[in-house]
A and B are shown apart, each in its own frame.
Chain A
Amino acid sequence: MAKGDVVQKAITGDDTAFLQVIHLYKIDLYKTALAFLKDEEEALEAVQEVTYRAYKSIRSLKNPAYIKTWLIRIMINYCQDEQKKHKQMVFHDDKINQIAAADDYSFFELEDAMQMLEDNERELLHLKYFSDLKIKDIAALWNRPEGTIKTWLTKALAKLKEHMTEEGGKRRVSK
């Protein structure tokens, strides 16, 4: 069965098709969760929650073509709420060491700079560079012209650059 057909079936309430869809994107969902939450347990919890939320609202997905963007967005929304609950981003050192070698300075620099961005900027960068979604798809899902998304993206990158220079500068001094 073509992917679009499975998604369509999932939208009309077919449980088997829904599970197929989730399994198709589970790795993307898990990695997104990990990128935001930095913790394996919390990321697994997030996948459970997103499966639940997606199942409850898949009927509201109008165009099957945007399923991946849609799922990742639910995940990002969830993760950002979780982060707000914890007030501050807590780095789980042992977990993050699995992702990057402890002395991988540039990794932490980028992580820090990402945290300085607004929610929607971080989300946009994530959708574009982590989930490899096309600007066209993000535009459709956010219901904005492609030009607007491009402008936002440029702005987000500009801010990222600014923070990296700034943060990097501080770090270098303290080292």
Chain B
Amino acid sequence: MYQNEENRLQEHKQKYDEIEIPSDRLDQSISKGMSRAHMESTKSIRKIGRWIVPMIAASILVFAFIASIRVSPAFASHVASLPGMEKMVELIHHDKGLMSALENEFMQDIGVSQENDGMKLTIDSAIADEQGMVVFYSIETEQTQEELTIKKSELTLADGSELEAVTSYDTGPFLQSDGFTSKVEVMFSKLSTDTDYILNAEIEGASSSESFSIPFSIEHSEETKHVYELNQTVDIEGQSLIIERVIVYPIRTAVEIKAHPDNTKKILHFESMRLVNEDGEEWSGSSNGLTSSGDNETGWSIYLQSNYFENPDELYLEINEMQAIDKEDEFLVFDTEQRAILHQPNGNRLVFDEISNGTAFFSIADENYGFVPFGSIKDSEDKEFGMSGSYNSTGEGSTRFGFDIPKEEFTNPLYIEFEFYPAWIEDEVLIKVK
């Protein structure tokens, strides 16, 4: 009936098909979008001390073993069949510690809600221990919304004071939605037995934005952790690490480690660490969110999935490899005027590519390196610029990284601290925990 219009539309489309695609820049846009999503899901990351979050954008190797410890589908479907659990299982099925907390009825029902102008927020439940908390909540709207976005969902103490914690939450958007279930994860920087909190949330719909502020209380159970004091020193390629203790909380396990001050290398990231029981069952890092905190001076807490409820008879800690560089190589020294690397770790693995739109790009010949190496930046007069945006993208046979050159005035060269670097020390360390 409208053959002419249809033909015109199709011809029109062909015009668009003929245009040139700016492939490189398109890939860059994708990487930037990814980096932003990663940054945001671990929002208040810089609030306390130094937290390491691997910004893994495209690494098959790094994820290979994490995928293998995902919860078995049978187990997931068992828990999901408990009344009201499906939505929560969807949110946490990648973490077998949290799944097991659910199954062991460690979750507390909360069930308080607030309604604002056609939108209702209900705090459904929480899993809490003295080290952290996962709060589940649901949004229902009277009318289907084109798009719902979580602008904020954070906790404060009942008196309104800020938590000393790292908080992470998803932001959506949920499209064509009349509600959703989401969660806020909190990791305290000091152990806490506070029971009274307020959830502050701001949810944006198509036409309006609603703010909620809902007080709620949780209970702390009597015994909430298993502590194993180890204080064993291990040697990995000449670097000494003191494995102080393993603390198994219901939500996650913390492995506390210190670096020996005489070490010649700076440890950047513990790449493979897991707890194994007598049958070979493994608990490794959670596949997203925070994986460790601390640094070479203070020592680290490395977070693994919890086996609090399984409480195996025997438990071993396995450590294999970590990213490490010589202490004198902790910075990439780069001159933006000469457009040249003045210093980098042995092997010259980083190759300068280009400066484009205020971002300096480098690449390494390894397409499986899924970390963004660059951290905070200072100039030759020690003026600090904090952490800049940084990106990575994977091409054939190589990975490309970038950092944003400071917009303020600076004196060349720039010193960019390595948060990650593709150099590893490794050994097979096995420590009996219990």
Contact = CB atoms under 8 A, between A and B. Distances in A.
Interface of A: 12-16, 19, 22-23, 26-27, 30-31, 34-35, 40, 44-45, 47-53, 55-57, 59-60, 70, 73-74, 77, 98-100, 104, 106-107, 110, 125, 129-130, 141-143, 154, 157-158, 160-161, 164
A60 B26 contact: no
Contacts of A141: 176
A41 B227 CA distance: 55
B33 A60 contact: no
Given A19-B58, A129-B10, A34 B175 contact: no
B32 A12 contact: no
B1 interface: yes
Interface stretch (B14-22, B218-226, B410-418): B14-22
B25 to A, nearest CB: 6
B15 A107 contact: yes
Contacts of B385: none
Given A16-B63, A100-B15, 7 more contacts: A13-B287, A27-B21, A47-B33, A48-B36, A51-B34, A157-B2, A160-B2
A48 B31 CA distance: 8
Contacts of B56: 15
B233 interface: no
Contact of A47 (B12, B15, B26): B26
Given A34-B19, A55-B33, A99-B15, A129 B6 contact: yes
Nearest to A158: B2
A161 B147 contact: no
Contacts of A161: 2, 4-5
A107 B16 CA distance: 11
Contact of A44 (B26, B58, B63): B26
Contacts of A98: 19-20
Contacts of A56: 37, 40-41, 170-173
A130 B11 CA distance: 10
Interface residues of B, number: 56
Contact of B9 (A14, A47, A110, A154): A110
Given A14-B63, A31-B17, A60-B180, A48 B146 contact: no
B99 to A, nearest CB: 14
A12 B59 CA distance: 16
A60 B171 CA distance: 12
A13 B94 contact: yes
A143 B176 contact: yes
A55 B37 contact: yes
26 contacts: A12-B93, A12-B94, A15-B34, A15-B57, A19-B30, A19-B34, A19-B57, A31-B16, A44-B25, A47-B26, A47-B30, A50-B33, A52-B33, A53-B173, A55-B33, A59-B90, A60-B175, A99-B15, A125-B9, A129-B9, A129-B13, A130-B12, A154-B2, A157-B5, A160-B2, A161-B2
Contacts of B342: none
Contacts of B20: 98
B37 A52 contact: yes
Contacts of A34: 16, 19
Residue from A27, A40, A57, A100 having most chain B Cβ neighbours under 10 A:
A57
Contacts of A15: 34, 56-59, 63, 370
A44 B22 contact: yes
Contact of B30 (A23, A53, A59): A23
B60 interface: yes
Interface in B116-131: none
Interface in B90-121: 90, 93-94
B270 interface: no
B37 to A, nearest CB: 4
Interface string B250-290: 00000000000000000000000000000000000001100
B8 interface: yes
Contacts of B58: 15-16, 19
B8 A106 contact: yes
Contacts of B8: 106, 110, 164
B29 interface: yes
A6 to B, nearest CB: 13
Contacts of B11: 106
Contacts of A45: 29
B174 interface: yes
Contacts of A44: 22, 25-26, 28-29
B67 interface: yes
B5 A164 contact: yes
B177 interface: yes
B9 A73 contact: no
A51 B63 contact: no
A22 B27 CA distance: 10
A13 B289 CA distance: 12
B22 A40 contact: yes
A16 B67 CA distance: 11
A45 B170 CA distance: 22
